[in-house]
Amino acid sequence: MTTLHWQMRNYAQELRQDGRLAVLLMLTMHANLRLRCWPSVDLLATETGWALASITAAKKWLIEHNAMILVPFNKRIDEETKLPIRQHVYQLTGVIDIDGKTWPYLYMTPEAKDSVKAILDTLPKASKVSPTEVSSNEVSPTSAKDIPGSKGIPDNTHTDKTPDPKTKTERKRDPIFDVIGSELFSIKPADPVGRSEAGRIARVKAELLSIDPNIAPADIIAFVCWYKASYPNASLPNDAAKVAKHYRDSKAAARPTAPQVSQAKPDDPKTRSDVEFI
């Protein structure tokens, strides 16, 4: 059983952005006795209520601040070895580095600390694995539900290996696709895009083109600025239908309102042009 440490109050404000606190809590709840877990991005999005782009950004931040480490496939043990190769496994550290200081986020006995330290010593100090995951609704051929003592739901589209630049085919640049990926999915134009994520971006692009065939990257950036100003406490949508709805709203809000012309009654003498004045 894991218990949150009271010293989290000292850095709680650092965990507000992109649902970092929510993601960390969900990972902690999924963790097994070794403080390892493997929930999918879809599951984390469902459990936290945050968008996939925010989940990815939160995980990236947690990894950069040493709150967790991605476990390479050759370092997996026990039931983890039965999971698909292309699936992330997370090792929680119980501590987090902020502003040059290490803070605990889990209560651990001295024995538990020694156990976690022994595990961490076997893992790379700085993981080279990209924290970007691909959302997928596919069912893994090896389901974690069928593994005794397992935690979380696997995602068979996750990757634990850095793509080999020699074998990876560089995708053709598409300004609209790139700006949608960057603004709504937190995927930089130079970053690799998984098949599922590429499909989601393509659907958003198709919806926007159906609304505005002449849409330009600047229009999408303007839409993002409008959405953030209109919904300051909400994460950006990345579902095609929701993006289309809000894009229409943004265009309607930007459209100038036509002046209202009062319609006078024809039989009103004050408005008739044929009235003779004596």
254/173 Cα distance (integer angstroms) = 30
pLDDT at 268: 58
* pLDDT by 10s per residue, the chain, length 278: 568 888 888 888 899 888 899 999 999 999 988 889 999 888 899 999 999 899 999 999 999 999 999 888 888 888 888 888 878 899 999 999 998 899 999 988 777 777 777 777 776 654 444 445 545 443 333 333 333 344 443 443 344 444 444 444 455 678 888 888 888 888 887 777 777 788 888 889 998 999 888 899 899 999 999 999 999 888 888 888 899 999 999 988 887 665 665 565 555 555 555 555 54
CB 26 within 8 A of CB 90: no
CB 152 within 8 A of CB 43: yes
Give the Å distances, CA to CA, from 266 to 74, 244, 260, 273, 274: 87, 44, 18, 10, 11
Give the Å distances, CA to CA, from 205 to 29, 134, 202, 227, 251: 36, 18, 5, 17, 16
pLDDT at 123: 67
pLDDT at 74: 83
Domains and CATH numbers, the chain: 3-146 (1.10.10), 175-252 (no CATH)
CB 201 within 8 A of CB 185: yes
pLDDT at 267: 58
